[in-house]
Structure 1
């Protein structure tokens, strides 16, 4: 007789991690031992310092808060809801409970015996002990050193891949292969190749490949008079052919072609000539695949002579990005490569536009990339934010010089838009006279923002203080960077206002750990990942970098890593912020590639429970950082 209660419990368990990694028979084995607890609101499940239970818990319905008492003050550190598990970490660590768990409302809990669960979990290679601990962890900092490689392992684990990652990919082959029979005449073969506009044809017998004829064979063996067009194709075909199975890698294909001095390989069902032909791969196909290799793309960018060329290359950069994300290459590595390719694209556009101006720039200048590209964080194609700084000139020459650079900027902005970097809706682009200034004008502008500071000035400073040179004279941008540090040093009023701005986005979680979504507009009920998760980290990183006068680091994750190095007392928090930022940026990139957009707005319905749990851990770090900012800059009295 079936145990219907156990089956219903198993069906519920398999919806959530880590149980979704277990087999049905294992789930049933666990479910049969589960006891069900019905608790009223306000009931204690276990208290801080209590001895361990023999069970951990999963919430079937309701919500549970976890709190910790320090110096006689109890503080809620987390809230769990349906599908969450808690009380597991202490059982693995064999430590008394470090927190108190209390029901926030009426609850139905599944009480799961550790004695049943632990042996099954430890035998499952897909469920690492520390991964389990991370999913159920009650730690206040899931991104601490001991957890960082466990919780977001796909983000931070270094994979020792060679530089040419494409070589390890399976080769893409032509599935619709044009074939002919051995009795075919050379004339028939030549006509078929001409009509199909192909350079080779496979000769098959009983669906097995026995030979290949290429356009080279027609030139060398027929056009020279050695053979006539009326002869059988077997007289000029190359035989036997080399065959491989479907999982052939690009590296294997390249080595084989080089070794045997051939340009084609046949793909058959079992990898031998004695099975059905299923595909064909040529050295030309491999060359096209190689186009997504970063070094090849960089060379192509430098050699490009048209905007159309750069647009095609930019599309291949997106393919490369998708490959890196799919292969779980560390985001630090991915960001640096995509930044360099984007930067080289911008530089090439500027070079070509200067050539089209038909006159050299009147004075030295620098093209500054702002925002995400300025921070080396632009992975997906978003809008362009840029500006120009040019060498100081006499007052009477200023407008004439500016006119040249505005004309240049208009050309550059237009071509960047064609490539795929959309125009900025706020017109934060170099073609706008507001953002095409001399060095002294920029200095005066920056000084004004830090002395007469309102909301508009804070917003502009937040955008324009993160800049990176993409083309031109680095001495100009270096001097501008030094000026930013000098006018913000010990400028407590400006830094406080910058701090208040950094806290303008509330915690991404609302009541009972629910995501705060947009309440109206085009993206109603969507979660704004940029505004509610990434920007609080970006703004806080900038604020702290200016406060501690950190030079030449604009990247958010790198800023927090530098802060961790400089201030060991807050090392764990700063590293947590770095890890959280990279995880969130990778999450945005993944969803942007899936939805073919900038990944900013996330539809909660398509997110898995595991994704939501990981994001909530990141949000917990954001909340800790915001509390730190309030205390560090004494903002409680100003908000």
Structure 2
């Protein structure tokens, strides 16, 4: 007699990986042993540090969130929708759960017996590979300010390698140290005795204050710059770069890449102000990984021609596609591509300076604006950039500006050849309007803030999301101070920003149908950028500016910061952060699929599940816009 329940379960499972890789008969047998779990909102499936279950899980209906309990609050790390697999810990490693799984709404979950599943999939390499990468993508990595510049390691197809990238780094414990009053001679003797390539200089509280390597001794002692009896503080590199005790292999490697170092100090709480507990070296990382996953960045840094730079950047699209296929967290993907985009821009500027007849007459800073300024640019889009140069006497201004305009034309031309289109509105550093001295930029921003109009708000949506990519960062820091000081003098500007942030209503109509474009070539297409992503971007920008928070430009990080600052709205801000990441991932997949920007979507091409996931992201948009209306009193504002 047929088991109708098992057949229905099997029909559902075969639509999703890894079950679509299981033979039909085996899948039906497996479906017959599955436990159906009904959950009310808030019900917990397993908690952090619980012993692993005899099952892993797939969402049938509803949504389940994976949360990290940091001891005081619960942070949402991921939300699993229909067809998503979670709770893979017991399939991969026999350790307690690292996350807490809680029903985000009324849900139905299938519990898959591990023993039976393994018996029908042991010889299936594709399934094993999928499970390894799915587990890796759900490994907890907190979103912190320190991690905003990190990039994720290149995907390596060896399944044992996949899990290595997410393992805790095997650093040297009880590192060799010396005190701040030690001489270089005594420190060098210690290095010889222990046959090590570096020694950490610590203060009386065992906090790391500097590091001395073989290179320092060669370059500063052997050359005669300092005597052998000099204090270690005279030649040490300071401050040191630090990491947490539980950092992953990937995180350690990427810290080294970002800071161009070969040694990472591990401290008790990960900061420079806590006790030293270990040292992670580049050799430790390579010994674990077996190779270096930094090919693209190295190619960019070594490129001497635009052709080489373009080839290196295009490899990033392949990397992006691979990450999406392997279900790597979108926050990591965003960090990867942002780091690569910044590296491309830096190299384009370096090559442009070499083409100029003379070095820059004064210091300057190159600003990435818009999506690159927020570190959210995943696909090739148009350029948005600006340049700030140091103040000069009035009689030298025109000549100085002409120099930087010429430099900017070289840079924007190179970026265009790499794949970043020219901005149709000419919001680029090659335009005199966006290439100014520090004082001129101060005046410009003050004018936008104190005399807001539609044009000022349009430009603000681009120019208030900036990131210093190259040059004198102090110019940008001083400009930021000026902007926030001016913002404290007016509330009218916030009203204009708020009015602009709510002008695009929730993407669903009265009968929950998607609001599509009505005219022109875009007719009947859904604009995911303007109707869903930008309302979240605009809301996050306004709220973070109103809180006078500096240095947090990324949209999902802005919402996470707001969740911390406003505990009463924590759930809403976390939902907005998740929605933004999910929408960005969806847009990127569409762009790669159709070889375009991904912003215009033919809804007929989507599955029912894809439409469901999109709709789930729209609720926070409506709720955050309601918050803006009340907080900035926008009801009667025109």
Cα separation, partners in 2 of 1:323 and 1:159, compared to 1, 3 Å: farther
> In the alignment, which residue of structure 2 is the partner of 1:117?
none
C-alpha change, 1:15 and 1:500, in structure 2 (3 Å) is: farther
| SS of structure 2 residue aligned to 1:165 | coil
Preserved contact between residue 590 and residue 599 of structure 1 (Cα < 8 Å): yes
The residue aligned with 2:349 is 350
CA distance in 2, matches of 1:315, 1:449: 37
- Which residue of 2 is the match for residue 441 of structure 1? 440
Provide the secondary structure at the position in 2 that maps to 1:619.
helix
Cα pair 1:293 1:320 within 8 Å, conserved = no
Q: Work out the CA distance in 2 between the residues paired with 1:400 and 1:92.
A: 65
Count of aligned pairs:
425
2:331 and 2:152 map into 1 onto residues whose CA distance is 16
The answer for the alignment partner of 1:614 in structure 2 is 613
The alpha-carbon deviation at position 502 of structure 1 amounts to 0.4
Which residue in the other structure is 1:158 paired with? 139
Judged with a 3 Å threshold, the aligned counterparts in structure 2 of structure 1 residues 630 and 571 are, in CA distance, closer, same or farther, namely same
Q: CA deviation at 1:294?
A: 5.1
1:563 maps to 2:562: yes
Contact 1:367 1:469 (8 Å CA) reproduced = yes
The partner residue of 1:132 within 43, 58, 61 is 61
Shift of 1:384: 0.8
The separation in 2 between residues aligned to 1:20 and 1:159, in whole angstroms, is 22
SS in 2 for 1:166: coil
Deviation at 1:159, TM superposition (A): 7.5
CA pair 471-19 structure 1, distance change in 2 beyond 3 A? closer
Q: 1:537-587, CA deviations, whole angstroms, 9 ceiling, x for partnerless residues? A: 100000011100011111001111111111111111111111111111111
Name the residue aligned to 1:111.
none
C-alpha distance in 2 between matches for 1:624 and 1:506? 11
Q: Give the 3 Å change call, closer, same or farther, for CA 27–156 of structure 1 in structure 2.
A: closer
Shift of 1:20: 13
Alpha-carbon distance, 1:335 to partner: 1.2
Alpha-carbon distance in 2 for matches of 1:331, 1:632: 30
Are residues 1:584 and 2:583 paired? yes
Q: Aligned pair 1:411/2:401, yes or no? A: no
1:298 is matched with 297
Cα distance, 1:620 vs structure 2:
0.5
Partner in structure 1 of residue 175 of structure 2: none
What secondary structure, in the 3-state scheme, does the structure 1 residue paired with 2:535 have? helix
Match of 2:256 in 1: none
Post-superposition offset of 1:295: 1.2
Alignment partner of 1:462 is 2:461: yes
Larger Rg: 1
Distance (whole Å) between structure 2 residues aligned to residue 89 and residue 405 of structure 1 = 62
Q: Could you tell me whether the CA contact under 8 Å between 1:406 and 1:432 is conserved in 2?
A: yes
- Shift in alpha-carbon separation, 1:168–1:358, aligned structure 2, 3 A: farther
| Contact 1:158–1:330 (8 Å) recurs in 2 | no
Q: Which ranges in structure 1 are unaligned for 5 or more consecutive residues?
A: 30-54, 57-87, 95-121, 137-143, 172-289
Q: CA deviation at 1:637?
A: 2.2
Measured in 1, the distance between the counterparts of 2:26 and 2:39 equals 21
Deviations 1:429-474 (A, max 9, x none): 1111110011111110111111111111101011001110111100
Query: Displacement of 1:418 after TM fit?
Result: 0.3
Matched, 1:394 2:324: no
Residue of structure 1 in register with 2:278 after alignment: none
**Correspondence for 2:158 among 129, 145, 168:** 168
Query: Paired residue for 1:252?
Result: none
* SS of equivalent residue, structure 1 residue 366: strand
Which residue is equivalent to 2:526?
527
Deviation per CA, 1:302-361, whole angstroms, max 9, x where unpaired?
Answer: 111000000110111111111111111111111112111110111001101100112101
TM-score by length of 1: 0.60
Structure 2 regions of 5+ residues with no counterpart? 30-35, 45-52, 66-73, 87-133, 142-150, 162-288
* Cα offsets for 1:139-184 (capped at 9, x unmatched): xxxxx9679443377797238999453252799xxxxxxxxxxxxx
How do residues 362-401 of structure 1 correspond to structure 2 at under 5 angstroms? 362-401=361-400
Alignment of 1:193-208 (within 5 A): none
CA contact (8 A) 2:388 2:475 kept: yes
Partner of 1:327 in structure 2?
326
